[in-house]
Structure 1
């Protein structure tokens, strides 16, 4: 009985030491992955929703890239999509690329949303919210404006207006 108690206490102590060690590691030694203004946008590659094409951020060098994180349930996202679609059509031939990453919803609901809003820009589903977490996105919508050299020029959290969105596009237009 006494041996069992000693064994259990030892195991509890080891678990506590491991938990404290892990906490110190995460807080003091692990590099923070959250993206900030002026940093290089982390590369990612995702298969587009309605095709077999892959969108790879690093292959967009020389273009201004807008990376938009959104959800079908998100009311501000719903209000942004029509003017984002319209302005994408206006600026895509001038070197602007827009890529919208859905925050891990079902393919059915995302395809229905895309169809309902008649969206024409590349869209993908961020499975397990992997890219969303790397970029440190919270809340939705959040939009990153990436300059042609791959640097994050602007981060917009929350809903934009058509005018502000167009002004931000002009900041990342290739020269």
Structure 2
């Protein structure tokens, strides 16, 4: 969530999509963790299937035009996330 705060003024947007929890559990998680970015629920795993998600978490780095620039499967620490964002912002 610190990355959200650090990069939101640089045009980076974050979106969380929960593919496993029931909506009530997911909303409770979002509220308890005070998730600052938009988050939704993928009932039926349609979005996961569309993007070929095979493991969680999976992070997609997508341009404003919809081009997928990078996909990272598995948890990312803050340093890896920052390095990935910096590399992609420079490649714009």
Which TM-score bucket, shorter chain as reference?
Answer: 0.7 to 0.9
Q: For residues 138 and 113 of structure 1, what CA distance do their matches in structure 2 show?
A: 22
Shift in Å at residue 101 of structure 1? Answer: 0.5
| Aligned counterpart in structure 1 of residue 71 of structure 2, from 149, 155, 160 | 155
Please give the root-mean-square deviation of Cα atoms over the aligned residues, in Å.
1.7
> Any idea what the Cα deviations from partners look like across 1:81-139, whole Å, max 9, x if unmatched?
xxxx1111111111001011000422210111112211101100011110000100011
Q: For residues 89 and 65 of structure 2, what CA distance do their matches in structure 1 show?
A: 11
Does structure 1 residue 99 correspond to structure 2 residue 15? yes
Does structure 1 residue 114 correspond to structure 2 residue 30? yes
Q: For residues 156 and 172 of structure 1, what CA distance do their matches in structure 2 show?
A: 13
Q: For residues 59 and 5 of structure 2, what CA distance do their matches in structure 1 show?
A: 18
Q: Which has the higher contact order (CA 8 A, sep 6+)?
A: 1
Query: Of the two, which has the highest radius of gyration?
Result: 1
CA contact (8 A) 1:141 1:158 kept: yes
TM score, norm. by length of structure 2: 0.88
Q: Give the length in aligned residue pairs.
A: 91
TM score, norm. by length of structure 1: 0.48
Long gaps (5+) in structure 1? 1-84
| Aligned counterpart in structure 1 of residue 48 of structure 2, from 110, 132, 140 | 132
